[in-house]
Amino acid sequence: DAGVIQSPRHEVTEMGQEVTLRCKPISGHDYLFWYRQTMMRGLELLIYFNNNVPIDDSGMPEDRFSAKMPNASFSTLKIQPSEPRDSAVYFCASSHLVGGDTQYFGPGTRLTVL
């Protein structure tokens, strides 16, 4: 298995632009998590899905952030409009509860908003 795949790996955009981050979980995994990592706040859980259904989005900072999981192999995290304080590394992770609790992380997307 290729592991969790994220794209793009780096994104530089200007304030006010829409940003879409993409994630492909490990095949067969039924949980998908979106995290944001910054020096100040560490690893923060933004939202997670179980069987494509959002379970908890209480970590989403504000209405500018939205996430979808239209099928078991694809999820997006969208920021619209983006702001400089959104600059961070965004990780997607997936896990399979029946097979174990381990969350496997993707390589991350480094987002810079100018």
Partner 1 sequence: GENVEQHPSTLSVQEGDSAVIKCTYSDSASNYFPWYKQELGKRPQLIIDIRSNVGEKKDQRIAVTLNKTAKHFSLHITETQPEDSAVYFCAARYGNNRLAFGKGNQVVVIP
Taking CB under 8 A as the rule, does residue 5 contact partner 1?
Answer: no
**Both structure tokens of 5:** 């795949």
Is the bond leading into 8 cis (omega within 30 degrees of zero)?
A: yes
Nearest to 87 by CA among 19, 27, 34, 7: 19
Among 5, 64, 78, 105, binds partner 1 (CB under 8 A): 105
Bridge pairing between strands 104-105 and 109-113 = unpaired
**Both structure tokens of 111:** 């987002």
Q: Judged by CB under 8 A, which stretch of 15-23, 68-76, 77-85, 95-103 contacts partner 1? A: 95-103
Among 55, 80, 84, 99, binds partner 1 (CB under 8 A): 55
Residues within the interface to partner 1 (CB under 8 A): 31, 33, 42-43, 45, 48, 50, 55-56, 91, 95, 97, 101-108
